[in-house]
Amino acid sequence: MSEAGSGKVKPETDARFGAKAGTLYVVATPLGNLRDMTLRALDVLATADVVAAEDTRTTGNLLRHYGIATRVLSLHAHNESQRVHSIVERLGAGGSVALVSDAGTPAISDPGALLVRAAREAGFTVVPIPGPSAVAAAFSAAGLAAESFVFAGFPPAQAKARRTWLSSLARLPHAVVLYEAPHRVRETIADVLEAMGPGRTLVVARELTKTFETITSMPLGDAPSWFAEEANRERGEFVLLVDAAPPSAPADALSAEAEKWLVALLEELPPARAARVVAAMTGVARDVVYERALELKR
């Protein structure tokens, strides 16, 4: 919590918007810039009986910055299933709970969905307190041609599973939005390129709202060299946005001979790799070949 707006603040809360008994609040918190905190979020955090936080140290710093003394307990990926029962019991006893993640909106590629589901199933009110969200912030500033997107969260860590997962996303007629960690971003970019082809637009949104925020657009085929040019480009938290594929030529752009090669290669290779070979041999756009490969596979 060392980003812009880190001077300590003591806000005036409005009791009309404070936490109510037997209610779970899903509270969005800043991605980095503390000035992005909403007044309603401050009202709830200051009046809730307890704050359930992904990281108690991170949330403790945030609360101290705003002069809030509400008790904090941990609720993260490794203990959520064990903590849910006691938190629901607290709601049943008339308590109020504010759920927060390290940054942004909880339960979106972060812990919290299990607690929200349990609270709703038990009949308690769940109230969203909207605010910062990395996926919304990145898409709003990306300027993509697509009017719709699929948010896919974090890719699988294992390479084979990640490639299969990306191949399924490549077929969708929407932009695709991913999160990725710095230590895996270059591997993921290479797999995205293989699955979706070099012609689609990639937007890399890094360190949103923080001091070193960058939002950069490029053809997907240029992405590996862009990351390689400067080590700092691999640092921070990433939102990767791949625009929807442009309208492609019809599948019959493949000659009969090229289609025979494609059929043969599909016996041994996944569609993305077979398409890459045939595209290199024929000069036909890889997106076109890949779409035909998927049709043949189906």
**Residue-wise pLDDT tens digits, 163-187:** 999 999 998 999 999 999 999 999 9
**Order of strands across the sheet that contains 125-129:** 71-74, 50-53, 96-100, 23-27, 125-129
Number of separate helices (H) and strands (E) present in the chain: 11, 10
The DSSP code sequence of 168-215 is HHHTSSSEEEEEE-GGGHHHHHHHHHHHH-TTSEEEEEESTTSTT-EE
Length of the chain: 298
The alpha-helical segments, DSSP class H, found in 48-158 are: 56-65, 80-92, 113-121, 134-142
Specify the pLDDT at position 9: 64
CATH 3.40.50.720 holds for 15-131: no
What is d(CA 114, CA 78) in angstroms, rounded to the nearest whole number? 12
CATH 3.30.950.10 holds for 135-242: yes
Q: What is the pLDDT of residues 173-226, one digit of tens each?
A: 999 999 999 999 999 999 999 999 898 999 999 999 999 999 999 999 999 999
What is d(CA 54, CA 175) in angstroms, rounded to the nearest whole number? 29
Q: Which amino acid belongs to residue 193?
A: L
Say if 15-131 and 135-242 have the same CATH topology.
Answer: no
Per-residue confidence at 113, pLDDT binned at 50, 70, 90? Answer: very high
Q: What is the pLDDT of residues 261-293, one digit of tens each?
A: 899 999 989 988 888 898 888 878 888 888 888
| Kind and range of the H or E run holding 150 | strand 149-153
What is d(CA 231, CA 194) in angstroms, rounded to the nearest whole number? 23
Phi and psi, residue 107, nearest 5°: 70, 10
Write out the two tokens for 16: 């009309």
Domain boundaries, the chain: 15-131, 135-242, 251-297
| Kind and range of the H or E run holding 165 | helix 159-170
